[in-house]
Structures are given as C-alpha cells and as structure tokens.
C-alpha cells in the first residue's frame, strides 16, 4: 500500500478521536516546548554573561585565590585555600611593570540602615581605579578616591536601588548611614545599571577596601582586579603577577589569574553543562509524552481489533497494519512536536517580554533536535503497539466484539 | 478451482485438543454456486475460513487454482484474499467510522489501485446493489439489508473469482434475505463461484449444490 493511503487512514482515525488525540499530543507539546524553552534560557544566560565579560575589556586580569584548573569550575568567594591579601595586591601594583592598576576587591553582605529604614545588601570594598576599570559611572557626587582608601575613611557610594530603598527622595549626599556597627557618609550615587541574569546590579554599596577589611574583620580579598597597560601585554603581565605572588606564597601557585578569554571559556563550560542538564530534564518530559502515546496506541489497537481483522480479511498484509498504526503514532508525535515548537518559542519570547532581566535566546539547533527527537519518540513508542496489531490472527480479530 | 483433500482442523485448548474438521474432501468447480449446511457448531465457518485463506488446515491438502496453500507465506495468503476472494459475513463486518464508499474501496487500498479508479468502481457497484443514494452514509445510518449490500459491494470490488458468504442472511428478515439472495444469483450469473454457509433450507435452495456437514465430517454432497 502507498504511504499516502496509510497517512490518510491514520488521519481519519486520529480525527475521529479528536479530543483523545489532542490530549495525547499535549505530552509531546510540553516536552518539546520545555526543551526549546530551557535551552533558550541557558543560551540567553550564556549570551548575557559573554556580553558582561566582553564589556570587561581585553586588558583586564582577575586574580582569584585557589588553583583553578581551566577545565573545572571557578572558585568563588573565600574557602580553605590560602588567601590573597590587601598587601599582596598593593605589592603586585608596585612591582609589575606592565600593569596600570591592581584593585584589591572585598565582597560581603551587610545591613545598611538610615532613619529607621534598612536593607540587606552587597558591600563591595574597592579602590579608586575600580570604577574606571569596570566602566561604572557616578551620577551624583564622587567615587572612592585614594585618600579615602589610605585613611580608611567611612564613606560610601550607593547603588541606585539601595539609594531608593534606604534614603528615598531625601538629598543623599552627606547623609550618614549605618553599615554594620559603623557610620558611613554617603559621597556618591551610581548611575543605574539595571538587571543582569536576575540579579539587581544596582543593589550594591561601594566602600574603600581598607574600610571593608575593618567591617568584615578580614584581609582576605575576593579578587584582585588588574588593568594591564594594553591588551598585547596580557601574557607578560600574567607572568609578572605570577612571579610576584608565587614568592609570597611559599612557591606554591595557589591562585589563578584569569583573562577575559579564560573567563569566557570557563563560563562557557559551566553554561554548557547547565544547558545540557536543563535540556536533559526537559527530554525526560518528552519521554513521558512518548509513554502517553504508547498507552493511547495500545488502547486504540485493542479498540480496533475487529477493524484489523476486517482489513486483514480483505488483503492487508502484516506490514500494512504495522505501518498504519506506526504512522498514527508518528503523526501524533510530529504534530505534537510542531505544536511544541510554537509553544516553546512563545514561552521563551513571552518570558523575556514579561521578565526583561531573564534573557532568553532561541537556538535553531534546539528546535531541530527537539523536533527530530519527538519524531523518534513517535517511532520508538509506536512500534510495540503497531507490532501487536500487525500480528493479530485475522480469525480471532474478526470474532472480537 | 477449489480442491480439498482430507482437510483436518483442530484447536489446542488448555488440556485438550478439539478436533473441529475431521477429514473433508471436496472439489468445487469454477462458476459453481454451492451452499454448506449443517447444525450450529458443526464446523461450517471453520471450513469456509480455511477455503478463504484466513486460516490454515492442521493437515490435508488445499489447492486453490492449482496452488498448494500449504506452501504459501502469510503475505501470499493476504494477497490471495485481496485478489481472488471476496468475503460476506453474517454481521456485515463494516468499519463503523468509514462511510459506505470508503468501506467498499477497502480491498483496493491494499492492491495499489489509484483513487479515481477506486471511486469509479465503487459507484458502479453501489448502483448494482441499488445504494447510490447512501454512498456517504456511515454503517450505523444504514439498515441491516443495506449494510449487507455494502459488504457485498466490498466483496466484489476487486473482481474476485470466489465469493465466500458466512450466513449472509442470518441477521436479516426473510424478505430482505431473499433480496440479498437475488443479488448473489445475479453475481453467479456473471460467472463468479460462490460458497455460502447457511442453516436455512429456503436460502440454501438458491444454490446449485448443497453439502451438509455434521460434527466435522461431510454428511452429503461432497464429491
Ligand atoms: N479458535 C477456536 N478455538 C477453539 N475452538 C474453536 C475455535 N474456533 C471454533 N472452535 C470450535 O469449533 C467448532 C466449530 O465452529 P464453527 O466452525 O464456527 O461452527 P459453525 O460455523 O458450523 O457453527 C465449535 O465447537 C467451536 O466452538
Ligand atoms: Mg458459523
């Protein structure tokens, strides 16, 4: 029998059970939609992170404590590895010829209070060049300067969100806020930066690194953010920094110096794993959808036992019956797959539309793979019921009521 | 065209073997109209299904148009059912979700006949069984007699040489039954061989030869 006829027969029988067919497809629609959506979230995050890292500039190096193999993940924050200290950052800046600045950065969280209002926020200890290196703009007042750092001034620059939530409409400059146990004078307000990857990057307070050391009672740095003279000198600068630090660390390389490219590579690896995990989870729902198809096809084969007998009596071969039911399950899964593409793209676009801090990016390969996978599921979960139908004895099937 | 030689059929049930046909030998000539009679459970349907290549005998030889059925594969048997044989059943056996026309063209789907040709033949046959006005009705919208006429049209559509009917009037009142028999007689006149199972004497008398089966053996009319 020609495949066109087979498709027509399948179409007819699916159409007779419209609601059942539609419900069966929902499993596949959700599965394919989920694959496309979750991959688009992973891909959106990748692009956002690449963009952020790209803005860092190619002449920036970040020195973090701990030895990170480039294949593995990156160490964040403090841990049992040997710390990098404020003094070491200063020493690097003094000794390395190829670098312009080495900013010792400390990150922590603390409450900030002002006239009965308070907020738990990120406190970042920095030195003067940090704002320039990270391309952060001061909108009102001034940033942290060298003398603030040298004399451990209790001054702070507020991110936009903190200013709004804690100070409100009052004039912020000169206001005295409490951070931890100490009083800090507000000297500047950051220009708004918005959201990135679901984080509010305006929810931050900058203070001098030296003051942060007192606040958190530590000289352990989060990182040293280094600006190299120019991008060509990156490798030279890395060698220099390594040389300086390794001597102070008893000849052990228990720190990692990352360039922009390396950070992108490391993040890329992490994001690949994340995307694969997300897609894998979504694929499970596709498999569940496939089991739904198999279930319905088994019911359908049973219900149509007599029809199978009739078709065999008038000359259908086992192969014709097998194909008829297989085509039916493939049609279910392929139409479900197409619906899932529409569903996934709609969700992905809608998600970004309603939550603009959640970037999504639809990749054509995820659409193609999800669709092909749904077709394969139609075949895989359709074969068993179809084979069962094909092997019915015509006489037994004809007698079935 | 049909030669049966010592055909036996038994079913293996848990714990016992049921011997349904106990050695039937019979020859049916081309163009013959034969009816098979016998009490219920005597093995008439079993015999008809064997002749129709829906089933295989446990032992014995069956030649159809000179071909030994025992040597054929399931696919070959399907092809024979499609090309050489037309079935008419007591309970019509139409596919309920398909219209009359779609039921009638069913055998042609499995012999690769293009759709215009299929529909042309179907409408000719609908005319022949006087059902042109019911072409697009579902079986559930047709009377018993009309359904049986649709199934006769289906049996005829691939121009088979052998028509097998298993109690074709069993579900019909006697007036409708005899109308159906008129159709069978005109088919017979056009040259088809017909084998019909029935237990109604008046129906069997439409045939040229009557054989009687009792308890799996031929009681009369077998030669
Ligand atoms: N698949 C089967 N398994 C077991 N016994 C069967 C089977 N098919 C038919 N029989 C038995 O064979 C006998 C003859 O059946 P059948 O040919 O249908 O009789 P008839 O058509 O003459 O009324 C019956 O006793 C029936 O129970
Ligand atoms: Mg019977």
Q: Establish if A318 touches chain B: CB-CB under 8 angstroms.
A: yes
Q: Do A368 and A307 sit in the same domain of this protein?
A: yes
Residues 13-32 of A with CB under 8 A from B: 13, 16
Q: What is the pLDDT of residue A68?
A: 59
**Which single residue is written with the structure tokens 């009672």?**
A217
Q: Are A56 and A260 in contact (CB under 8 A)?
A: yes
Ligand number nearest CA of B49 is: 1
pLDDT < 70 regions, chain A: 1, 68-81, 195-198
Residues ≥6 apart with Cβ < 8 Å to A374: A28, A31, A32, A286, A289, A333, A334, A336, A337, A340
- How remote is the CA of residue B46 from the centroid of ligand 1, in Å? 6
Q: Do A234 and A324 sit in the same domain of this protein?
A: no
In total, how many domains does chain A have?
A: 2
Query: What one-character DSSP code corresponds to residue A85?
Result: B
Which chain A residues have a beta carbon less than 8 Å from that of B105?
A: none
Q: Do A97 and A218 sit in the same domain of this protein?
A: yes
Q: Do A205 and A274 sit in the same domain of this protein?
A: no
**Which single residue is written with the structure tokens 């009037």?**
B169
Which chain B residues have a beta carbon less than 8 Å from that of A307?
A: 95
- Asked if residue A65 belongs to a domain, the reply is no
- Asked if residue A76 belongs to a domain, the reply is no
Which chain B residues have a beta carbon less than 8 Å from that of A306?
A: 93
Q: Do A270 and A248 sit in the same domain of this protein?
A: no
Work out the percent of chain B whose per-residue pLDDT is above 90: 91
CA distances from A266 to A216, A260, A269, B219 (A): 29, 10, 5, 91
Q: Do A195 and A283 sit in the same domain of this protein?
A: no
Q: Model confidence over B151-194: pLDDT tens digits?
A: 999 999 999 999 999 999 999 999 999 999 999 999 999 999 99
Q: Which H helix or E strand runs over A369? A: helix A364-390
Residues ≥6 apart with Cβ < 8 Å to B38: B44, B199, B212, B213, B214, B219
Q: Which H helix or E strand runs over B26? A: strand B16-28
Domain boundary among A253, A278, A303: A253
Residue B146, SS3 per DSSP: helix
Q: Is the pLDDT of residue B83 over 50?
A: yes
Q: What is the pLDDT of residue A96?
A: 85
- Can you give the C-alpha Rg of chain A in angstroms? 31
Report ipTM (2 d.p.). 0.96
Question: Distance from CA of residue A135 to its chain's centroid?
Answer: 24
Work out the percent of chain A whose per-residue pLDDT is above 70: 95
Q: Do A133 and A7 sit in the same domain of this protein?
A: no
Q: Are A244 and A226 in contact (CB under 8 A)?
A: no
Is the alpha carbon torsion for A43, A48, A52, A54 positive or negative?
Answer: positive
Ligand number nearest CA of B167 is: 2
Q: What residues form DSSP beta bridges with A207?
A: A125
Residues ≥6 apart with Cβ < 8 Å to A232: none
Task: Provide CATH code, domain B2-220.
Answer: 3.40.50.300
Domain enclosing residue A121, as ranges: 82-253
Q: What is the pLDDT of residue B128?
A: 92
pTM of the model: 0.78
- Asked if residue A213 belongs to a domain, the reply is yes
Residues 150-179 of B with CB under 8 A from A: 154, 158
Distance CA A291, CA B58 (A): 40
Please tell me the residue having the least CA distance from ligand 1 atom 14: B43
Please tell me the residue having the least CA distance from ligand 1 atom 6: B11
Q: Establish if A170 touches chain B: CB-CB under 8 angstroms.
A: no
- Asked if residue A95 belongs to a domain, the reply is yes
In ligand 1, which atom is closest to the CA atom of B44?
A: 22
- Asked if residue A57 belongs to a domain, the reply is no
Kindly state if the Cβ of B11 falls inside 6 Å of ligand 1. Answer: yes
- Asked if residue A77 belongs to a domain, the reply is no
Cβ within 8 Å, pair A1-B112: yes
Kindly state if the Cβ of B147 falls inside 6 Å of ligand 1. Answer: no
Kindly state if the Cβ of B45 falls inside 6 Å of ligand 1. Answer: yes
Which chain A residues have a beta carbon less than 8 Å from that of B93?
A: 306, 309-310, 313, 398
The mean of the pLDDT values for chain B is: 94
Backbone angles phi, psi at A208, to 5 degrees: -60, 145
Provide the angle, in degrees to the nearest 10, between the axes of the packed helices A305-313 and A260-303: 70
Q: Do A287 and A345 sit in the same domain of this protein?
A: yes
Q: What is the pLDDT of residue A396?
A: 93
Q: What is the pLDDT of residue A10?
A: 87
Q: Do A27 and A98 sit in the same domain of this protein?
A: no
Cβ within 8 Å, pair B78-A315: yes
């Amino acid at each position: 029998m020609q495949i066109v006829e087979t498709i027509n027969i399948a179409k007819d029988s699916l159409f007779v059970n419209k609601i059942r067919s539609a419900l069966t497809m929902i499993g596949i629609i959700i599965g394919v939609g989920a694959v496309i959506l979750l991959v688009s979230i992973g891909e959106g995050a990748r692009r956002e992170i690449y963009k952020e890292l790209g803005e860092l500039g190619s002449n920036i190096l970040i020195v973090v404590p701990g030895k990170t193999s480039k294949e593995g993940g990156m160490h964040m924050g403090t841990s049992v590895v040997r710390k990098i200290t404020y003094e070491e950052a200063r020493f690097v800046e003094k000794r390395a010829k190829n670098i312009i600045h080495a900013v010792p950065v400390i990150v922590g969280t603390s409450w900030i209070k002002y006239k009965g209002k308070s907020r738990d926020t990120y406190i970042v200890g920095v030195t003067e060049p940090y704002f320039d290196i990270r391309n952060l703009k001061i909108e009102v007042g001034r940033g942290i300067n060298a003398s603030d750092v040298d004399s451990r001034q209790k001054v702070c620059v507020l991110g936009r969100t903190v200013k709004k939530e804690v100070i409100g409409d009052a004039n912020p400059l000169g206001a005295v806020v409490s951070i931890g146990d100490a009083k800090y004078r507000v000297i500047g307000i950051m220009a708004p930066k918005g959201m990135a990857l679901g984080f509010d990057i305006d929810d931050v307070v900058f203070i001098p690194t030296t003051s942060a050391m007192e606040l958190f009672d530590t000289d352990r740095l989060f990182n040293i953010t280094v600006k190299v003279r120019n991008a060509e000198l990156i490798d030279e600068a890395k060698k220099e920094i390594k040389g300086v630090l390794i001597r102070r660390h008893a000849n052990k390389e228990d720190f990692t110096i990352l360039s922009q490219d390396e950070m992108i590579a490391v993040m890329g690896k992490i994001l690949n794993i994340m995307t694969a995990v997300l897609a894998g989870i979504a694929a499970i729902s596709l498999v569940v959808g496939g089991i739904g198809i198999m279930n319905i096809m088994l019911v359908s084969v049973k219900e149509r036992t007599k029809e199978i007998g009739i078709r065999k009596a008038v000359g259908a071969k086992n192969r014709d019956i097998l194909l008829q039911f297989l085509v039916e399950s493939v049609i279910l899964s392929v139409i479900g797959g197409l619906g899932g593409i529409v569903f996934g793209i709609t969700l992905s676009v809608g998600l970004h539309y309603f939550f603009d801090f959640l970037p999504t990016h639809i990749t054509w390969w995820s659409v193609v793979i999800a669709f092909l996978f749904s077709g394969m599921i139609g075949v895989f979960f359709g074969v068993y019921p179809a084979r069962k139908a094909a092997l019915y004895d015509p006489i037994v099937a004809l007698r079935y009521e | 065209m049909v030669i049966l030689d010592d055909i036996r059929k038994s079913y293996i049930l848990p714990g016992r073997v049921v011997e349904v046909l106990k050695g039937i030998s019979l020859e049916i000539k081309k163009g013959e109209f034969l009816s098979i009679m016998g009490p219920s459970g005597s093995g008439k349907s079993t015999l008809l299904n064997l002749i129709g290549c829906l089933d295989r005998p446990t032992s014995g030889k069956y030649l159809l148009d000179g071909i030994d059925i025992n040597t054929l594969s399931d696919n070959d048997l399907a092809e024979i059912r499609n090309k050489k044989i037309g079935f008419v059943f007591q309970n019509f056996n139409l596919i309920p979700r398909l219209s009359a026309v779609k039921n009638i063209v069913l055998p042609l789907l499995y012999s690769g006949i293009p759709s215009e040709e299929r529909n042309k033949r179907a409408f000719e046959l609908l005319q022949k069984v006087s059902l042109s006005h019911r072409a697009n009705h579902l079986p559930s919208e047709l009377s018993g007699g009309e359904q049986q006429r649709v199934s006769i049209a289906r049996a005829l559509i691939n121009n088979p040489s052998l028509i097998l009917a298993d109690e074709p009037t069993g579900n019909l009142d006697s007036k409708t039954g005899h109308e159906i028999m008129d159709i069978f007689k005109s088919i017979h006149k056009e040259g088809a061989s017909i084998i019909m199972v029935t237990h109604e004497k008046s129906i069997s008398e439409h045939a040229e030869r009557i054989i009687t089966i009792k308890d799996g053996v031929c009681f009369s009319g077998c030669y």
